[in-house]
Structure 1
Amino acid sequence: MTIRHSKKDYVSLDDIFVYPDIKCLDGDLTIKKYKWTVKEIVNKYNYIYFLGSEECGKTTLMKKLAMDCLEEGFNSIVLDASELNNIDLNILVSGFNKKYGLNVSLEDSNNVLFIDNFSKQRFKDSYLDKFLKEVTEKFKKVYIFVDKNSFYTGSSKYLKFNFQDVEILNFGYSKRNELYKKWYSIGEDVDFIQTDNNFYSKIDALSTHFDALMKKNVMDSRPIYILTIIQTLENMSNNNSYQLTSYGQCYYVLLTGMLKRANISLTNDLDGFLNFLSFLAYYLYQSNLESLSNEDFFEVIKIYDAKYIAPKNIKEVLLDSGILITPDNDSLQFSQKYLYYFCCAKYLSDNATDLSHEITLICKNMHNENKANILIFLVHHLRSTDILQEILSHAICLMDGTKPFEMSLKSYTDFKSLLGDEIQKIVFEDKNSEEQRKIMFDKMDQLDEQMEDPDFFDISIDEKDLDITKNELEQRIDFELFQQSTSSIRSIEVLGQIAKNRHSSINRSDLNDILMVAYDNGLKVLNFYLSIFKDTEKDLKDFIKSIIADKKQVSPDDAKKMAEKVIHQICFSVCLYIIQLISKSTAHTQLLKISENLTENKGSPAYYLVDLYSRLIISKELPKSLIKKIKQENYGNSLVYSLLQQLVIGHLYLHNVDYKDKQWIQDHLEIKVADQLRAASNTALKQLN
């Protein structure tokens, strides 16, 4: 892939390279420490297998490590395993010297060997053993880069002679932030832009785009994907020939890039492969399957070929491209979820008239994650307003009997026992915004790691307990309403994607309706969950009191007060989460005026908070008049005032705010600025996690 940048003709590896995190596959070490730096790994081991999935950056990491070794005074010898036809090291080193015009001696004690594409080596096992043994004897260090899936199927023949296997991890929040910073630093004065809020605005906008594209791991966070998406979004005005949304175009570019790697003709074969992939994805959807056996896969080809002209060598091309993978020897599946969703949505879009009933069914079942994701991807394909009306008609009916929690003084009073009547005590710790961002991203990465840990949630209960739990829940919760609450949450994202990606082609009235339904659905969900907390408040309080009493030597009265504070904090955090969720899903520069008008017409405190946070996300400037208005119109409403403080303090932590603005905030929101004090309750960093 050729990397282009508007401010530099030639982008070097150093301009954009970010070292990935590494997972050491030594069980004992993984328990002690999940992530290692590349430097820690190469200092700890001399003989390493670097494992990674397709396009995770194995070759790029190899090149960077080879450059690092050269700078440290070593001789870097680089080989491609796909070209190896001899295990004689003298011949291999001689070939390397001839290729690069060098004169490296095999006997030099400072030689470091790098081998790429090791899964493509064709040695017999006995010769492979001999080769691995000899390289560990002749070279100071040996770094071998190999496809993860291929390695696991033949690990017994690889893990010999003191080799350690490690895995190249996908980029988390911190690593993505490093890459965004490097990209926007190209051609700029780095010392200047690090303190510039315009710089942060660019990074935050890109972060929002990529997080939305990646969703809940529908797409791997690989550096090449990030760079492709950056360039696609920057070149949309020239490249959008496929009539997709900007996000749809990003997925399309990634998919066609994979097909191009399999050496198909984009002129003659692209349409055929895209059509087959959409047919295959819809077949899997209809059959409720994630994978197909080889026999069933060829049956699908047969069915397809009866209707269309099938491309040649379908299986080989799709495997070589990495679009399909073989998790075992007798099955095939899409390698990543976004490929499946994109292709399935394409089939629905291409056949929207005949499959209108299916689209309606998907809209009715947004609580189902699979259907909700297909619907989001369908938005990227269809430009017809029919799908908008279909989605709106179903979204507006969700939780029909539940009112939005508008956070007015009257509605707040209904949940006062849960939310408390004290204003959250906040002290702003005036620290460097760059440091605060790093802390925030590190914490977000830690949370993701915990979520991947199978022991993080212990949900194992026996059958008897399960029956009791169901009976209790059935008495307390309307399960249909609970299902609708899930649909409502997902509808916010769907509607947000429509508004943000189609704002230029949807009339203002419809955009107003989209935002209103998104806001209301989020606030209905908030009302629903607060009502559940209210109905179970006594049991919840007793449960928390028992935990506190077990862990601390406190009086019953103190335990009760502590339990009440915990409940207040939980419910406050839920309110904050919903406000931020709505804003993050719908905030867009072109929608701010519509949001403002909608908020003025509604007059709801919750709407004003959503509008405020949307503006903080987009503009980075403090909307002082709006902050003053929210404060003045909600006198005595400690919930709204505390949420207002938290949203503003979150902005302060992550952006460079001048002294005058800090002083203004201190004067108008009673937030003290103190260098050595920490926030008394959850800080902005916690609330943004």
Structure 2
Amino acid sequence: MNIEVAVSKSATTKDKGDLLEELAMHLLRAQNYEVEREVRKTGVELDLLCKHKANNNKKLYVECKAYKDDNNINAGIIVKLLGAMQLEECEEAWIICTCELGKDAKGVVDKLTSKGRTDITIYTPSKFITVLVDANVIKSEDIANHSISKILNRNLYQDSTLLVTPVGIYWTYRKKKEKTDTRVFVVDAKTGDIVVDSDILSKLSTFDSTMCGFEFCALIPASISTTNGKGVVEYKFRLDDEYVQSIKDTGVMYTHPHKRVLDKDDLFIFPDLQLVNEDDKISSAELMSFDEKYRKNIIFGDELSGKTTLAQKLQRIYVESGNIPVYINACDINFSNLEKFHKILRRQIKLQYANVTDEIVGTIDKSKIIIFIDDFHNTTLNKDAASQLFLAIDKEYESIIWLMNTKQELELLANDKLVSELAEYNLYRIKELGFKLRDEMIKTWISIGRVDTIYESDKHNQVMEIAEIINSTIGYNYVPTYPIYVLTLLQSFEASTVKSLQGSAYAEFYNYLITHALGTAGVKAAELNLYYSLLSELSHYFFVGSEKEISESNTRKFYEEFCNRKMLDRKFDKTKKILIQSKILKSENDSYRFNHSYIYYFFVGKYLSDNAQKNVDIQQKITDLTKRLYLRECANIVIFLVHFSKDQFVLDNILLEAKKIFTEISLATFAEDEFANINRLVEAELRIILEDKRPEETRAKQLEIKDSLNENLPKEPTNETDYNSDIKELDVYRL
């Protein structure tokens, strides 16, 4: 990897050095350093003198050298650095350069290394680029490659350079050792987007660099030529502005202290995708390249897992790379006829793209079309008709991404008619956000509206604080960790006057999730108590009946009895629709169950709390629950029970059981023989090695380990232990 500092031809060598220093300052500030620039001391001028904010005694001296690639760092520069370092009593020193070390400089470095000197770091181009990427100062070359390879054959354009200029930092690409082709293509290193601004490209071509005078080209989206009766007109495909705004709309009114209206771009992160029937996973960001490997894909996902958001994000990326991606919702498909599908496709192109006429649609190169077919599980077609349409579309188009519910997964894989065609597809399942991606989403939330003003140390501390609360709230499979749920918790946290929650107060978050879900389904505030009462009784019905799900007829019977007791005249179908739409209940095979375990635990706890004082049987159930806190179900119900009830009876039962835990263990007396037993276990002196790493790097590594461990945990509690009958009676709801 190469770095060039390019300025106007009239600029001085100092101007070039100043640009490199500015880039170095971005890196240092990201690493929590305060930077003093162009420090003049007796007999020496220092480029950058830095103090660490967390440790003011730690001083760092940085020397920046913006040399052309035909120059090298000589030994004199390193010797000068050592002298300045000693004069200023710096603990560490860096050289940041745009060239490699000369032979004599390498000899000095080798000599220092042999003496155990680790306080001097020399950042040659590739090493400097790596730390800039790690500190999020620039986007990696891999991301720039993704952008370029969507339009160009990346194998032909292998000569890449990081170009540092007064108008920005850019990745540039040209053909290696090609004298006749002087075209240069440019990607913004801050955003990873292809540069098409003609003013910027024109300026870049005039700067003093090895590419001065070359043709800096814009890579534009797909275009076609058509006629308008007066000659040939070139049409460039771009998504319609109104359509883009509609697919960026979150559909939910999120509030944020630093931005009035949020859209999906403010909140989006690429989820991981699990390969079906395999242990491997990839980041969905890999689909951005859309090379031959990713031409045909099927993505399965639960409701609210983010399938549609991912599809529409990819659509906007693909159109920038010269393709014509079209989004189609399968709800509009009620036929297996391919010609009717073509009509829908043409209509959607005209709706989704700006100023498209029938004539333009008729001239489109089919190989440029990428079809997204979303919610294929919601089509009204029967199995045979759906298979027929799948095969017809698969045969007609080269690039297709199908998005389906996870329930469709088994049906599709078991369909004998599609076996050979499925072999050509990548089959993925959208994963819930792990610890690392949750951190990324929290960082994204915290940074909204203040990317340039928030210090990395402040961001790191806020992320840790919020992540601890959210991860505790989510618990073990309480709440799905898809983006919509994490964002709802973030919104709840932002809106809450209680910024630090303790113990059962975490249940307020679950209360927020439930009221938010009912609200989005159209339940008014005045109706919430009624729905809470209904769900409390329904959860208790599950609890005492040892049920995981109940049939349609039993659910309808339960509801009618509830309405009779409450003297209500409310139709079952209307209430059922609201509970399904809000994702409180799930309907499968003419039966109903609670959609998420936290909803069930929440309402069982509420029912027990509401009825404990007037019902002896309920009191006995609470006593039995507190005796079985080693069972996850019992512990979870008691957590919510404690939130709803401050009855001393409940607390006394918990304390009584807690005191029984260590009754067979004697108190430690710290006698000599006790220490002797401990000392015999120690075979070697403990050594703690503290690595000099940024807190963010250490945390990222820890989260990767947690994600790896979490992958191996069972998604549902097992039921292998042989419990006593009274435990079995309680241990009824395993999600």
TM range (shorter): 0.5 to 0.7
Q: How far 1:246 sits from its partner (Å)?
A: 4.7
Judge conservation of contact 2:447–2:454 (CA < 8 Å) in 1: no
TM-score (norm 1): 0.59
The answer on 1:255 being equivalent to 2:540 is: no
SS at match of 1:144: strand
SS at match of 1:105: helix
- Residues 484-542 of structure 1: CA distance to partner in whole angstroms, max 9, x if unpaired? xxxxxxxxxxxxxxxxxxxxxxxxxxxxxxxxxxxxxxxxxxxxxxxxxxxxxxxxxxx
Relative contact order, CA 8 A, sep 6+: which one is greater? 1
The structure-2 alpha-carbon separation of the partners of 1:188 and 1:403, relative to structure 1 and needing over 3 Å to count, comes to farther
2:579 to 318, 324, 333: 318
- Residues 65-110 of structure 1: CA distance to partner in whole angstroms, max 9, x if unpaired? 1111122222121122223345523321332144345326364221
The structure-2 alpha-carbon separation of the partners of 1:137 and 1:191, relative to structure 1 and needing over 3 Å to count, comes to farther
1:70 to 297, 316, 319: 319
CA distance, structure 2, for counterparts of residue 221 and residue 16 of structure 1: 15
SS at match of 2:325: strand
CA distance, structure 2, for counterparts of residue 385 and residue 333 of structure 1: 33
- Residues 174-253 of structure 1 aligned to structure 2 (within 5 Å): 174-189=436-451, 193-194=455-456, 196=457, 198-237=458-497, 246-253=505-512
SS at match of 2:315: helix
The structure-2 alpha-carbon separation of the partners of 1:383 and 1:96, relative to structure 1 and needing over 3 Å to count, comes to farther
CA distance, structure 2, for counterparts of residue 275 and residue 399 of structure 1: 40
SS at match of 1:427: coil
CA distance, structure 1, for counterparts of residue 697 and residue 533 of structure 2: 48
More strand by share: 2
SS at match of 1:307: helix
CA distance, structure 2, for counterparts of residue 165 and residue 180 of structure 1: 29
The structure-2 alpha-carbon separation of the partners of 1:152 and 1:315, relative to structure 1 and needing over 3 Å to count, comes to farther
For residue 142 of structure 1, what is the aligned residue in structure 2? 400
Q: How far 1:357 sits from its partner (Å)?
A: 3.3
Judge conservation of contact 1:272–1:311 (CA < 8 Å) in 2: no
1:356 to 596, 608, 619: 619
For residue 276 of structure 1, what is the aligned residue in structure 2? 534
For residue 368 of structure 1, what is the aligned residue in structure 2? 631
TM-score (norm 2): 0.55
SS at match of 1:204: helix
More helix by share: 1
SS at match of 1:428: coil
Judge conservation of contact 1:79–1:96 (CA < 8 Å) in 2: yes
Judge conservation of contact 1:76–1:111 (CA < 8 Å) in 2: yes
For residue 15 of structure 1, what is the aligned residue in structure 2? 266
2:543 to 275, 285, 290: 285
Question: Gapped runs of 5+ residues in structure 1?
Answer: 461-465, 471-478, 484-689
For residue 345 of structure 2, what is the aligned residue in structure 1? 93
CA distance, structure 1, for counterparts of residue 627 and residue 384 of structure 2: 59
Residue type at the aligned position of 1:373: N
- Residues 438-453 of structure 1 aligned to structure 2 (within 5 Å): 438-452=700-714
- Residues 408-447 of structure 1 aligned to structure 2 (within 5 Å): 408=670, 413=675, 415-416=677-678, 419-420=681-682, 423-447=685-709
Q: How far 1:392 sits from its partner (Å)?
A: 3.1
For residue 216 of structure 2, what is the aligned residue in structure 1? none
Judge conservation of contact 1:119–1:151 (CA < 8 Å) in 2: no
CA distance, structure 2, for counterparts of residue 366 and residue 430 of structure 1: 43
- Residues 615-630 of structure 1 aligned to structure 2 (within 5 Å): none
CA distance, structure 1, for counterparts of residue 323 and residue 625 of structure 2: 59
SS at match of 1:237: coil
- Residues 488-507 of structure 1 aligned to structure 2 (within 5 Å): none
For residue 629 of structure 1, what is the aligned residue in structure 2? none
- Residues 581-596 of structure 1 aligned to structure 2 (within 5 Å): none
CA distance, structure 1, for counterparts of residue 326 and residue 601 of structure 2: 42
Q: How far 1:268 sits from its partner (Å)?
A: 5.5
- Residues 531-557 of structure 1: CA distance to partner in whole angstroms, max 9, x if unpaired? xxxxxxxxxxxxxxxxxxxxxxxxxxx
Question: Gapped runs of 5+ residues in structure 2?
Answer: 1-251, 728-735
Residue type at the aligned position of 2:597: K
RMSD over aligned Cα, in angstroms?
3.5
For residue 619 of structure 1, what is the aligned residue in structure 2? none
Judge conservation of contact 1:255–1:339 (CA < 8 Å) in 2: yes
For residue 37 of structure 2, what is the aligned residue in structure 1? none
The answer on 1:24 being equivalent to 2:280 is: no
- Residues 126-165 of structure 1 aligned to structure 2 (within 5 Å): 126-153=384-411, 155-156=413-414, 159=418, 161=421, 162-165=424-427
CA distance, structure 2, for counterparts of residue 150 and residue 326 of structure 1: 15
Q: How far 1:220 sits from its partner (Å)?
A: 1.4
The answer on 1:347 being equivalent to 2:607 is: yes
Q: How far 1:257 sits from its partner (Å)?
A: 3.3
- Residues 373-392 of structure 1: CA distance to partner in whole angstroms, max 9, x if unpaired? 10112223235565444433
Judge conservation of contact 2:504–2:639 (CA < 8 Å) in 1: no
- Residues 384-399 of structure 1 aligned to structure 2 (within 5 Å): 387-399=650-662
The answer on 1:110 being equivalent to 2:368 is: yes
Q: How far 1:287 sits from its partner (Å)?
A: 2.4
CA distance, structure 2, for counterparts of residue 139 and residue 412 of structure 1: 75
- Residues 321-336 of structure 1 aligned to structure 2 (within 5 Å): 321-326=582-587, 329-336=589-596
Judge conservation of contact 1:118–1:145 (CA < 8 Å) in 2: yes
The structure-2 alpha-carbon separation of the partners of 1:100 and 1:36, relative to structure 1 and needing over 3 Å to count, comes to closer
The structure-2 alpha-carbon separation of the partners of 1:15 and 1:447, relative to structure 1 and needing over 3 Å to count, comes to same
For residue 524 of structure 1, what is the aligned residue in structure 2? none
Which structure has the greater CA radius of gyration?
2
Q: How far 1:62 sits from its partner (Å)?
A: 1.3
The structure-2 alpha-carbon separation of the partners of 1:369 and 1:410, relative to structure 1 and needing over 3 Å to count, comes to farther
The size of the alignment, in residue pairs, is 449
The structure-2 alpha-carbon separation of the partners of 1:36 and 1:186, relative to structure 1 and needing over 3 Å to count, comes to closer
Residue type at the aligned position of 2:390: L
The answer on 1:55 being equivalent to 2:304 is: yes
CA distance, structure 2, for counterparts of residue 238 and residue 202 of structure 1: 15
Residue type at the aligned position of 1:79: I
How many percent of aligned residue pairs carry the same amino acid? 23
CA distance, structure 2, for counterparts of residue 410 and residue 150 of structure 1: 66
CA distance, structure 1, for counterparts of residue 676 and residue 541 of structure 2: 50
Residue type at the aligned position of 2:404: V
For residue 2 of structure 1, what is the aligned residue in structure 2? 253
For residue 80 of structure 1, what is the aligned residue in structure 2? 329
Residue type at the aligned position of 1:360: T
CA distance, structure 1, for counterparts of residue 281 and residue 451 of structure 2: 35
CA distance, structure 2, for counterparts of residue 116 and residue 404 of structure 1: 63
Judge conservation of contact 1:233–1:246 (CA < 8 Å) in 2: no
Residue type at the aligned position of 1:426: I
2:644 to 355, 364, 381: 381
Judge conservation of contact 2:349–2:361 (CA < 8 Å) in 1: no
- Residues 396-431 of structure 1: CA distance to partner in whole angstroms, max 9, x if unpaired? 44323434668x575851641564275411221212
Q: How far 1:7 sits from its partner (Å)?
A: 0.8
Judge conservation of contact 1:269–1:311 (CA < 8 Å) in 2: no
